[in-house]
Amino acid sequence: MKIDNIHPELRKAFSRIPSLPFHNRFFLKLLNTVTKMIPAARDDTVQFSQRTLDGAGLRIYRPQGKACGAGLLWIHGGGLITGAAKMDDRECAQYAKELKLVVVSVDYRLAPKHPFPAALHDCMEAWRWFQYKAPSWGVDPARIVISGMSAGGGLAASLSQRLYDEGAVQPIAQALFYPMLDDRTAARQDLDNIKHRIWNNKSNRAGWSWYLNNDPGAQDLPAYAVPARRDQLTGLPAAWIGVGDVDLFYQEGCRYAKRLSEAGVDCQLDTVAQAPHAFDRIVPKAQISQNFIGKNHHFLRRVLNL
């Protein structure tokens, strides 16, 4: 993808980022080792704690002073094969500071070592623990949003589907940042030539293959493995989907939003012209990023009645 296709506010930063071979197992192992060594970005203006469950690690962010009575379960990105909860400390702390939410961020297990359903199981475990702890923090268990970016957005969608089917306490909404929703995108080798920034289709194919233990686009997949494969979307919680139009996940995000709306789900789709994957994380101070985050916060204020 040519740099001219990217928004002027983002070009300088993206021109400096090389194309990384996430599909290379040796590189992936090295990257995940280095990621574990990166120090967390602590914010002294929020109360921070950690917890370890059977499969998942949790990072908890609570606002100083009175909380608003609502919460957010956050799921990090990384194509299901890399990433860590601590890399989103800044974003999670921002939710606690600006919206007064109690935030629980999930450190789930990664493929290829831990294929499906490990990551989704960890997210479910985190949700149940949050439900148990919520009253002690002054949080209404029925006022918790599930949210995530990229692979985390896809896991948030899958978790919302599973919770609906189980008839458990439902999330009040799902907020999905450029979500990784559909393995059939990875099966399209014609997309390899576009060379999308940050996360391209070769990496996407590797991520889905290792997570599913199967080729992307296979006929029979287990329930909740690929959220876009679900036939019935009626009854799912209100949704916000935000994605840039030069993101590999643009088309699948738009399709999922359309299907949710057609199923009667309150769904807000915010698309951003000339915005590649994870642009708001890479250039957070750009006006285009600030506007994007503002739309997400506006959605959360609306569904949570803040």
Which residues are catalytic, by number?
Answer: 150, 247, 277
Angstrom distance (rounded) from CA 121 to CA 108: 9
- CA dihedral sign, ordered 288, 294, 295, 300: positive
Counting Cα atoms < 13 Å in the Cβ hemisphere of 57 gives 10
E strands present in the chain: 46-52, 57-63, 71-75, 102-107, 144-149, 173-177, 238-244, 267-272
Angstrom distance (rounded) from CA 247 to CA 32: 24
Angstrom distance (rounded) from CA 116 to CA 44: 36
Beta-ladder partners of 147: 74, 175
* 3-class SS of residue 175: strand
**Phi/psi class of residue 269: alpha, beta or left (left: φ > 0; alpha: ψ in -120 to 50)?**
beta
Angstrom distance (rounded) from CA 120 to CA 127: 10
Beta-ladder partners of 272: 244
Angstrom distance (rounded) from CA 54 to CA 93: 25
| Residue 176 in tokens | 């999905």
